Structure 1
Amino acid sequence: MFDTECPAETAPVSRSVANAAAWPSPEDTFGAIVAAGRPGPSGWLALELDAATDDPALLDDRSLVDAVADLDRIASWAAARQARLLAEFARRRPADPRDSTTGPEAISRWAPDEIALALSISRSTAGARLAQARRLTETLTATLAAHEAGEIDGSKVRAICDATHPLFEDAAVRVQDRVLPAAARQSRAQLVAALRRAVIAIDPEGANERHARARRDRRVVVGAEDEGMASLWALLAAPDALAAHQWLTRLARGLGTDDPRGMDARRADLLVGLLTGRVAVAEPDLDVDPSAGADGDGPREGEVAPVPAGGAGPALRVAPVNPGKPLVHVVVPFSTLTGAEHQPCELAGYGPIPADLARRIAADAVWKRLVTDPLSGALLDHGRTTYRPPAALTDFVRARDVHCRSPLCRRRALDSELDHTVPFPHGPTAEHNLTHGCTLHHHEKHSPGWTVVQHPDGTLEWTTPTGHTYVSEPFDYRPEPDPPPRRPGRSRRVALDWASTAEHADDAPPF
């Protein structure tokens, strides 16, 4: 019933569709699909799903979720099959020898126009799709196979292609092989973090060089938006960006609960005030008069803060909710800190960063000692050396979790809420009954139909109202394994960049 090859006696598709009235009911059809062990995506499975989902109202909640997942697998299968066709088309359109662009990856400058016309897309988009298709069929073949099997969707495929873009072919394959086993159960954000870590581990020197080049390109850009608005966009080193955002958040919270604006609006107004000189940061112990404005008449409409300070000067003064430098949490293996190795390091709230950048942060930081199990990657002990730290237990759980413990959330634990898995007093206030969750997932956990079970190793098992279960694991502190040896004869660079073969992109961004 679910074979991917059509038997000789099978009626043509048109006849099967015409006789659809004689097919089993949607409930029976979908039950048969589930009973078959979730067969691989194919055109035949698409036909079965078409019959099973004709009337969604006849499906129960669990079947609805399963059908949504299966249709997503069908979409991935179709996209992968299209990639194979695009790659074959690209091979049939070699570059003209008279063109300036040469090499085995080059294709005819007119090939993207044929695809663009067929799909009603721009030629630059068509060229990028042709280049990605060739990369998948010639180098990242395991990624294409996972895509065709419905294990990963198009956004994850693009993430793998983008991450391996600057690498030589051999290194790209090793990165792919390292991340694919877990990619099916990860969100795109989690996969991107895993890719960054793998790229740094496979090519540490290249990662340091690419970061140095990227840092030289830091900039601030103004863009026009609708309705009289504009965007102020900054490209910064990751720790600088995170520290700046955290400092704005501290100042925004320091405005107090009476401020009617949301946190986003507060941060935006404070940013403008700080950059234009209308706001200055007060000392933490400075006495402030909440009724006085910069000119003594109270805050005007559009002013940033209802917490101005006395004293001369045109600027309003605001105080952060707590003093001290913004906390940037970086996990650095000791061997990397000493320079013996160049393992990727973890910047909480961002993801993996190169060793050189982590060592620069280490030069101006207060360190905590973490003892981890080298086999499981689990946190075993937590030292406390910071000034006025929170409770040791909170320190330990925060360092163990690193992120919100919803299976797909990457909000850092520092900005999340500590929660009892089994509500207190029925459950103890102990490491094995505490986790971090962002506000949304903290509330979700306590919603009707949701259950969470915490296992001794820190793993959480989430069960949704439909009975589906998903697993969240604590942060893995193990160092990246040594990369396998290079494969001989696979040193060609993977970067099949359409921009290098196109004269001009008709819809490229201005910067």
Structure 2
Amino acid sequence: MFEHMFAEVADEALVGAIEQAAVEEAQASARRLAAIAELTRRSVDDDDERARWTFDLWALTAARIGAALTIGQRRASAQMRIAMALRDRLPRVAALFCQGRIGIRVISELTWRTHLVDDDRVLAEIDAALAERAVSWGALSEEKLTGAVNALIERYDPDAVRRAKDVIGDRDFRIGAHDDSAETTSAWGKLMAADGVAAERRILAMINGVCENDPRSVGERRSDAAGALLNGRQYLPCRCGASDCPKADAPAPASHVVVHVIADQAAVDAAEKQADEKPAATRPEEAADCVADDESICTPDPLVDTGVALLPGAKVMPTVALADAIAGGAKVAPLWLPGPEPEPQYRPSTRLAQFVRLRDMFCRFPGCEVPADRCDIDHCVPWPYGPTHPSNLNCKCRTHHLLKTFCFGPDGWIEAQSPDGTVTFTAPDGRSYSTNPGSTLFFPQFPAATAELPPPPPVPPDDAARTAKMPTRRRPRSAEVAARVKAERAQNREIRATVIAAANAARPAGPPRGNQPPF
């Protein structure tokens, strides 16, 4: 169907079809956000006692939207923020969006950049100015779009311009970036000066602890030493491979951090084979894979399934990295499989918890992407009516665990789990959403199916006093947002004052020359 959709359209009409589709796409996005705004308006009430719950009415609404759109809780909440900003703060921009004249990329930037404007009169001026100019901003790059929006806000409300936090030198340290390769993870940030000196000396001592025949470059040694240090190790093992290595007496590396990698047998076999192989010199005649002429044809090597290995968060671990880990002493253990009998206690044993996490891989609520190692393990049918068995256990992030604990029941959400690991959630409006174990997406042969359990005994209704156990906020979410806006505006004001003072101090003394205005 896809390849024939525009097969009969003339060449000169295809560009017009593309333009029209872009308009319709923006209009469809506007309709979706308008529906989200209306649902939010009807569902979120600061006067409701649940407004002070940790899992408040905003979070409950985000869960409904996330399940419907198959997105996580944070992304659903962000959609609600954009929708409410269009409805209540930027009505003129919203009108253009509904006409398809502004795309969702620009809309997201406009609603985010105007978040700190707290005066209705100023906001109306900015809304009018944006509606006048933003139609032409779709062609701008991310950097230019940000600059254009910030320049306009600067005219009306300088304190509302979102300024980079590194202007005041905030420290931070990050692991991982969206453009990381599968083989490596980036790390960057700032440390206190003394901590940086200590880290540099520690890494230098570690890389000096290997012999001169270690095949790694200095940069590779530094990278491996930083990884070892973060894993709690004090030594970097040498990779020369010689039995008489002069550094062989270095103590074996020790770490209290355990990273579980799930891999099928094909991946383990391929990695172990690669770990055992020695690089061989390439003969000149082997420089090319094959040479084809009129009398010979290159025959490609047959495809070989080298399996899959996954790090936590479902990040693919390449065979070369798995081989490197095995060569470095990583333990390879078969997956423990549970039997038909449940465990007698409420809290699952270590091996049962590990099986459930490896099976699920993520929070099981629809659209949620929180990795299983950061999730709670929850009884589908509450203990003690439901047993501690993998057919009655699944992973839930803390947010959706709160949803299950306080918002499930005859008038709320309903959950059911099948022996094959499928979990079905039914919303209060009767809509159902099913999720499969994450492991089955990557490992079709994963033994996710476990024993079928007998029907549970009748579960009594929740005690009315149960809601008293819900963690609460000091103030409603709306008050927290207002406080953050106030604090960030004050910080921006301080940054501007510092910059202006520094610029004035650098100017020569005396009155301005000619028509040059003072700073």
TM range (shorter): 0.3 to 0.5
